[in-house]
């Protein structure tokens, strides 16, 4: 499985050192962006992404939880984001927003919230390189994985296979509720990757923890 390592759980006073510690094995670094409206937190701006870009050549995965994604996506791509996730309900025209991400030179990714039907993601398979399935409510740190998440992963994997054939189409990654006791069920359901935070940074051996995730299934291109 792919590991898009969430920097929200890193030591924010030593962010560069946290990146250096796992850069050799992390598939990407996941950067949550909260504006206090779409998610009731304030977190990470373009300057942080620019600093990370100068620190690592790993894929930088920016997850926009903002009320004006069309404006902010350009700012973050200019700062060095390689992939930008947009929440469908935050955009007046989500397909147009995803197309704008691609036009700016980044990989478009759709965020699918816990309450949203998987059919919304299926309808946009052709416009995205990844579906980011939320395993918890957005902006809630340390929550338990939604019990329906594995089944939702299975439904997306099956729909992708029908649409594109085996091994093709957007990757399917789960964000939220990633714990030692939940990862296996997501891997068994066919998830291509997860967004681990404390699972990595609270581990006594973060590198070994990421390697364990890799061993749970094939590792496609992030």
Is 93 part of the annotated catalytic residue set?
A: no
Query: Which entry of 35, 146, 175, 192 is annotated as an active-site residue?
Result: 175
Res. 39: pLDDT tops 80: no
Instruction: Assess whether pLDDT exceeds 90 at residue 217.
Output: no
Residues whose CB falls within 8 Å of the CB of residue 85, separated by 6 or more in sequence, listed in order: 61, 62, 63, 64, 109, 110, 111, 130, 132
Q: What percent of the chain has pLDDT over 70?
A: 98
The rounded mean pLDDT for the chain is 95
Question: Would you state the pLDDT for residue 29?
Answer: 98
Tell me, what's the pLDDT at 41? 85
Query: H or E stretch including 131?
Result: strand 130-134
Binned at pLDDT 50, 70 and 90, residue 219 comes out as low
All residues at 6 or more sequence positions from 161 whose CB lies less than 8 Å from its CB, including other chains: 169
Token couple for 209: 């923890």
Mean pLDDT score, 163-171: 93
For 75-107, how does the pLDDT look when each residue is reduced to its tens digit (9 = 90+)? Answer: 999 999 999 999 999 999 999 999 999 999 999
Q: Which residue has the tokens 């598939």?
A: 27
Q: What is the model's pLDDT at position 36? A: 87
Q: Mark whether 35 is an active-site residue.
A: no
CB 105 within 8 A of CB 77: yes
- Give pTM, 2 decimals: 0.95
**Could you tell me the pLDDT band of residue 138, with boundaries at 50, 70 and 90?**
confident
The pLDDT tens digits for 146-155 are: 999 999 999 9
Catalytic residue among 32, 35, 82, 146: 32
Cα–Cα dist 128/26, whole Å: 22
Indicate whether 222 pLDDT > 80: no
Residues in the chain: 222
Residue 2 gets which letter from DSSP? E
Residues linked to residue 107 through DSSP beta bridges, in sequence order = 83
pLDDT: is 141 or 48 the higher one? 48
In the prediction, which pLDDT does 129 show?
A: 98
Per-residue pLDDT averaged across 134-155, rounded? 92
Question: 83 near 60, Cβ under 8 Å?
Answer: yes
Q: What's the average model confidence in pLDDT over 163-188?
A: 95
> For residue 221, what pLDDT is reported?
64
d(CA 54, CA 73): 19
Q: In the predicted model, is pLDDT for residue 38 greater than 90?
A: no
């Amino acid at each position: 499985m792919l590991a898009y390592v969430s920097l929200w759980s890193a030591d924010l006073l030593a962010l560069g050192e946290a990146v250096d510690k796992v850069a050799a094995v992390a598939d990407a670094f996941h950067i949550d962006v909260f504006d206090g409206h779409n998610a009731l937190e304030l977190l990470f701006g373009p300057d942080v992404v620019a600093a990370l870009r100068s620190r690592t050549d790993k894929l930088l995965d920016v997850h926009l939880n903002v009320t004006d994604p069309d404006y902010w996506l350009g700012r973050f791509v200019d700062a060095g984001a390689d992939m930008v996730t947009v929440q469908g309900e935050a955009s007046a025209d989500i397909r147009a927003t995803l197309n704008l991400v691609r036009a700016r030179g980044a990989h478009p990714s759709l965020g699918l919230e816990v309450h949203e039907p998987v059919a919304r993601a299926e309808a946009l398979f052709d416009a995205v390189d990844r579906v980011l399935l939320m395993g918890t409510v957005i902006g809630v740190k340390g929550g338990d994985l939604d019990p329906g998440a594995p089944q939702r992963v299975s439904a997306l994997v099956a729909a992708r296979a029908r649409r594109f054939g085996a091994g093709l189409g957007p990757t399917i990654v789960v964000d939220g509720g990633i714990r030692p006791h939940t990862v296996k069920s997501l891997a068994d359901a066919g998830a291509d990757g997860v967004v681990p935070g404390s699972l990595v940074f609270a581990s006594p051996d973060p590198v070994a923890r990421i390697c364990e995730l890799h061993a749970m299934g094939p590792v496609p291109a992030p």
